[in-house]
């Protein structure tokens, strides 16, 4: 199995109807090397939807270059970062072969965490509902092991296939999970802040109890790690963030 290049070479040589010139990749933008390193790349004149650019993107993808590699190469050649990211995403195949895995991972993690938090809330409630607690803990017991298996499978898949991390389903589900956990965490935090303010101003007759604090603590202990994990995984699938991160670090280092 061919190994994905860490830094794909930009296209060199004139474009022709029959394919590459010799063993060198065909490039639709330039025919002569430019710059101190003797490498060439696409300039900002070409648009990613032009047929020549599409052909170059396909060749890069078939050579094993990831969208991060392609985006960095385009930016280094003078493209705008957002346009380069859009073009890099176009290098991916149209079919998404990992929908079931990433969908099952995010659903099982999200619902399992919800069941765990709900069950703990019921245990700590002043008037717990045993049926709700039993259902919530059952949901967590069934789904969290499934989530662990899906996470392990996804890790193995991404280790053997670098392009799996760019799955659009992966990006969508992790982004949705991060957004939902952030919303739930903010609602719980705002609710607790309101209870504190209401107690201080006399709008709430009963003072805050340790049980109220434990309720908020349960939400934060479940939500914060889940949000941090899902946000990190979403960022890995975003070309603008992950694809250009290394290039940004190199540029910052060159200015020192």
24-33, 193-202, 236-245 — which is least confidently predicted? 24-33
Q: Is the pLDDT of residue 37 over 50?
A: no
Query: Is the same domain home to 52 and 126?
Result: no
Torsion sign over Cα 219, 221, 226, 232: positive
Query: Is the same domain home to 56 and 141?
Result: no
247 inside domain: no
Using a 10 angstrom Cβ sphere, with 0-12 exposed, 13-18 middle and 19 or more buried, the burial of residue 199 is: middle
Q: Domain boundary residue among 34, 66, 94? A: 94
Q: Is the pLDDT of residue 144 over 70?
A: yes
Query: Is the same domain home to 123 and 201?
Result: yes
- 24 φ, ψ to 5°? -95, 140
Query: Is the same domain home to 136 and 179?
Result: yes
Q: Which of 227, 120, 142, 235 is nearest to 182 (CA)?
A: 227
Rg (CA), the chain: 25
pLDDT (mean) for 215-223? 90
Q: What is the DSSP letter of 236?
A: H
Q: Domain boundary residue among 62, 94, 126? A: 94
208 inside domain: yes
Q: Is the pTM of this model over 0.95?
A: no
Predicted confidence band of residue 28 (pLDDT cuts 50, 70, 90):
very low
Tell me, what's the pLDDT at 234? 92
20-24, 34-38, 152-156, 202-206 — which is least confidently predicted? 34-38
Q: Is the pLDDT of residue 249 over 60?
A: no
Domain residues for the domain of 78 are: 11-94
Q: Is the pLDDT of residue 230 over 90?
A: yes
What contacts 251, CB < 8 A, 6 or more positions away? none
Query: Is the same domain home to 51 and 139?
Result: no
Is the CB of residue 166 less than 8 Å from the CB of residue 237? Answer: yes
Predicted confidence band of residue 107 (pLDDT cuts 50, 70, 90):
very high
Tell me, what's the pLDDT at 93? 63
Number of Cβ within a 10 Å radius of residue 153: 14
Bigger pLDDT: 43 or 63? Answer: 63
- Separation between Cα atoms, residue 251 and residue 256, nearest integer Å: 9
Percent of the chain at pLDDT exceeding 70? 71
How many structural domains is the chain composed of? 2
Q: Domain boundary residue among 60, 75, 94? A: 94
Predicted confidence band of residue 36 (pLDDT cuts 50, 70, 90):
very low
Q: Is the pLDDT of residue 137 over 70?
A: yes
């Amino acid at each position: 199995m061919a190994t994905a290049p860490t830094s794909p070479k930009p296209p060199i040589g004139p474009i022709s109807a029959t394919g590459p010139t010799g063993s060198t990749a065909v490039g639709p933008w330039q025919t002569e090397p430019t710059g101190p390193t003797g490498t060439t790349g696409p300039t900002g004149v070409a648009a990613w939807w032009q047929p020549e650019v599409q052909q170059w993107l396909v060749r890069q993808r078939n050579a094993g270059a990831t969208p991060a590699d392609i985006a960095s190469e385009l930016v280094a050649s003078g493209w705008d970062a957002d346009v380069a990211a859009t073009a890099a995403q176009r290098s991916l195949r149209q079919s998404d072969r990992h929908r079931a895995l990433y969908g099952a991972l995010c659903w099982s993690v999200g619902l399992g965490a919800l069941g765990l938090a709900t069950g703990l809330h019921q245990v700590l409630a002043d008037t717990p509902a045993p049926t709700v607690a039993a259902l919530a803990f059952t949901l967590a017991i069934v789904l969290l092991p499934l989530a662990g298996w899906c996470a392990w499978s996804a890790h193995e898949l991404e280790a053997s296939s670098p392009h799996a991390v760019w799955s659009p389903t992966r990006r969508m589900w992790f982004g949705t999970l991060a957004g939902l956990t952030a919303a739930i965490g903010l609602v719980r935090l705002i609710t607790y802040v309101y209870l504190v303010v209401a107690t201080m101003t006399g709008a709430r007759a009963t003072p805050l109890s340790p049980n109220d604090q434990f309720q908020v603590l349960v939400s934060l202990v479940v939500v914060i790690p889940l949000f941090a994990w899902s946000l990190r995984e979403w960022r890995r699938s975003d070309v603008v963030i992950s694809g250009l991160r290394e290039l940004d670090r190199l540029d910052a280092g060159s200015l020192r």
